């Protein structure tokens, strides 16, 4: 592999993300074949995660986070899905700061209680016909999620975009391809041990930020998906999904590199693939997030046998 190809590969500008150690091995093999010294691994120059100063939330994000906190405060214990009481997942290992433990937002009232009792098929039907918020008027179709209902890894993003709205599947198009490549880099694949969903099941017009009321109405669906799937690990990508799940206004940079916990399920956070497509330097940090996901899945699989 030429130095140019290697650098491009390290920056993620290849069809498939490849583990750095595999690249290093292939470089060594190529060097041995040619008798020429190979380039030095760029991985040594990859920037490490750095603490970032908190950035003020946009008004819609702040109102959504406030609504989330309010919903948690108001939620009666009886409304919580079974997952909250009897999670099979052990306490996760931590890196750096202490684990943040939060309760899952499940919405409020009789509707949320009814959704919390649905099985998988009934939940799919309920989402498909949902008119609980104004997004039903502008969507082409709902986007329930895709993958294995008994997945070990649940990837949670923000909301469907234009292409997802057209196809009815989350994370398609360029961002979806990057997500698939990221998952492939740690040996995971959409539809095998992975389920992919969004916080919102309908596309906000013009890809605007979700509004607090939309999050409140849609939250019971994600809560029920999590309760039914019972994944070993949740990988939340993008600021909105992360802040909604963890009920915090902290920036992504301050939440990365740690294992959080929602209703007893370990949560690792990372950048949204669409953001990574626009911010090349953060791909190196995204790789560290993926390694934490892989590390946690391995640890949790060992603990659970």
Please, which residue, 83 or 135, has the CB nearer to ligand SF4?
Answer: 135
Cα separation, 176 vs 235, whole angstroms: 15
Q: How far is the CB of 74 from ligand SF4 (least distance, A)?
A: 18
The two tokens of residue 255 are: 């939440």
Q: Does residue 199 bind ligand SF4 (CB under 6 A)?
A: no
Ranges within 110-169 binding ligand SF4 (CB under 6 A)? 127, 130-133, 135-136, 142
Contact pattern for ligand SF4 over residues 206 through 245, marking x by CB under 6 A: --------x--xx---------------------------
Burial 194-207 (b: 16+ CB within 10 A, else e): bbbbbbbbbbbeee
Considering only the stretches 27-35, 196-204, 263-271, 283-291, report the one whose residues sit in contact with ligand SF4 under the rule CB under 6 A: 196-204
Q: How many residues bind ligand SF4 (CB under 6 A)?
A: 14
**Dihedral angle of Cα 133, 138, 141, 146, to the nearest 10 degrees:** -70
Q: How far is the CB of 125 from ligand SF4 (least distance, A)?
A: 12
Please, which residue, 143 or 153, has the CB nearer to ligand SF4?
Answer: 143
Please, which residue, 139 or 258, has the CB nearer to ligand SF4?
Answer: 139
What single DSSP character describes residue 190?
B
Cα separation, 218 vs 223, whole angstroms: 9
Q: How far is the CB of 127 from ligand SF4 (least distance, A)?
A: 5
Please, which residue, 133 or 300, has the CB nearer to ligand SF4?
Answer: 133
Q: How far is CA 108 from the centre of its chain?
A: 24
Cα separation, 256 vs 286, whole angstroms: 9
Please, which residue, 214 or 282, has the CB nearer to ligand SF4?
Answer: 214
- CA 38, 40, 44 angle in degrees (round to 5)? 155
Cα separation, 282 vs 275, whole angstroms: 9
Element (H, E) at 226: helix 212-229
Please, which residue, 80 or 201, has the CB nearer to ligand SF4?
Answer: 201
Question: What is the longest distance spanned by two Cα atoms in the chain?
Answer: 72
Q: How far is the CB of 157 from ligand SF4 (least distance, A)?
A: 14
Please, which residue, 142 or 148, has the CB nearer to ligand SF4?
Answer: 142
Residue 203 DSSP SS3: coil
Distances (CA, A) of 53 to 160, 238, 249, 283: 29, 17, 12, 19
Neighbours of 132 (CB within 10 A): 20
Q: How far is the CB of 141 from ligand SF4 (least distance, A)?
A: 10
Q: How far is the CB of 14 from ligand SF4 (least distance, A)?
A: 36
Q: How far is the CB of 222 from ligand SF4 (least distance, A)?
A: 9
Chain residues binding ligand SF4 by CB under 6 A are 127, 130-133, 135-136, 142, 200-202, 214, 217-218
């Amino acid at each position: 592999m030429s130095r140019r190809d290697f650098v491009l590969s390290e920056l993620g500008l290849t069809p498939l993300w490849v583990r750095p150690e595999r690249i290093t091995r292939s470089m060594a093999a190529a060097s041995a074949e040619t008798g020429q010294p190979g380039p030095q691994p760029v991985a040594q120059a990859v920037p490490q995660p750095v603490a970032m100063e908190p950035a003020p939330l946009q008004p819609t994000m702040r109102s959504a986070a406030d609504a989330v906190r309010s919903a948690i405060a108001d939620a009666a214990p009886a409304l919580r899905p079974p997952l909250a009481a009897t999670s099979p997942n052990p306490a996760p290992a931590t890196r750096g700061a202490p684990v943040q433990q939060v309760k899952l937002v499940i919405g409020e009232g009789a509707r949320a209680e009814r959704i919390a009792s649905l099985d998988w098929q009934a939940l799919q039907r309920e989402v498909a016909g949902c008119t609980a918020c104004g997004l039903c008027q502008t969507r082409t179709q709902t986007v329930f999620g895709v993958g294995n209902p008994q997945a070990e890894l649940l990837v949670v993003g923000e909301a469907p975009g234009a292409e997802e709205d057209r196809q009815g599947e989350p994370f398609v198009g360029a961002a979806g391809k990057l997500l698939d490549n990221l998952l492939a880099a740690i040996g995971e694949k959409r539809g095998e041990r992975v389920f992919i969903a969004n916080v919102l099941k309908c596309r906000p017009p013009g890809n605007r930020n979700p509004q607090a009321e939309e999050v409140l109405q849609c939250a019971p669906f994600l809560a029920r998906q999590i309760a039914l799937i019972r994944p070993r690990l949740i990988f939340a990508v993008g600021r909105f999904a992360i802040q909604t799940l963890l009920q915090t206004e902290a920036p992504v940079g301050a939440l990365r590199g740690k294992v959080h916990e929602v209703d007893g399920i370990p949560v690792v956070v990372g950048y949204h693939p669409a953001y990574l497509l626009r911010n090349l330097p953060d791909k190196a940090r995204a790789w560290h997030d993926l390694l934490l996901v892989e590390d946690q899945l391995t640890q949790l699989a060992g603990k659970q046998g």
